[in-house]
Amino acid sequence: MPDPKTVLLIREYACGVNRYEVGLPKGRLEPGESHIDGANRELQEEVGFGARDLELLGQLTLAPGYMTHSTHVVLARDLYPSKLPGDEPEEIPVIAWPIDNLIELIQRDDCTEGRTIAALYMARDLLRHRNEQAGDP
């Protein structure tokens, strides 16, 4: 998040649905890489920013009844410009989105990926809870 009210999304081609999708940056871990380090690397490759503050929020599964795949959700804050070369075949557009406006985001035809939607709600609700606990509006 570049600031407490904005999340950075990317728009990239999703071959499974044969269209461009808006979502969070994501990727596979390199051998020996931690979830935090992998998230920061993917952020730099896909969004062009690094983060000084990274926090593991939890884990999401897709279909735990028959798949072992899981996604670790990392909240990245205190961003700074930093671009690493990635493996994407084209430049990835970055979209700044107000985190309090998730309803409008999920109503878009190009934002349908469940992991993105769940992760955004996890982050938004955790940040709201922390702000309430601190007495911030």
* SS3 of residue 57 by DSSP: strand
Calculate the CA dihedral of residues 100, 91, 32, 28 and round it to 10 degrees: 60
Which residues face 74 on adjacent strands? 56
Q: Average of pLDDT values for 46-66?
A: 94
- Give the integer Cα–Cα distance in Å for 61 and 73: 11
CATH topology for 6-134 is Nucleoside Triphosphate Pyrophosphohydrolase (3.90.79)
pLDDT band with cut points at 50, 70 and 90 for residue 137: low
- Give the integer Cα–Cα distance in Å for 33 and 54: 14
What per-residue confidence (pLDDT) applies to 46?
A: 95
- Residues 90-135 have pLDDT tens digits of 889 999 999 999 999 999 999 999 999 999 999 999 999 998 888 8
- Residues 78-93 have pLDDT tens digits of 999 999 998 877 889 9
Contact present, 99 and 124 (Cβ < 8 Å): yes
Domain definitions of the chain by residue range: 6-134
- Asked if pLDDT for residue 12 goes beyond 80, the answer is yes
What per-residue confidence (pLDDT) applies to 136?
A: 77
Burial class (CB within 10 angstroms; exposed 0-12, middle 13-18, buried 19+) of 38: middle
Average pLDDT, the chain: 93
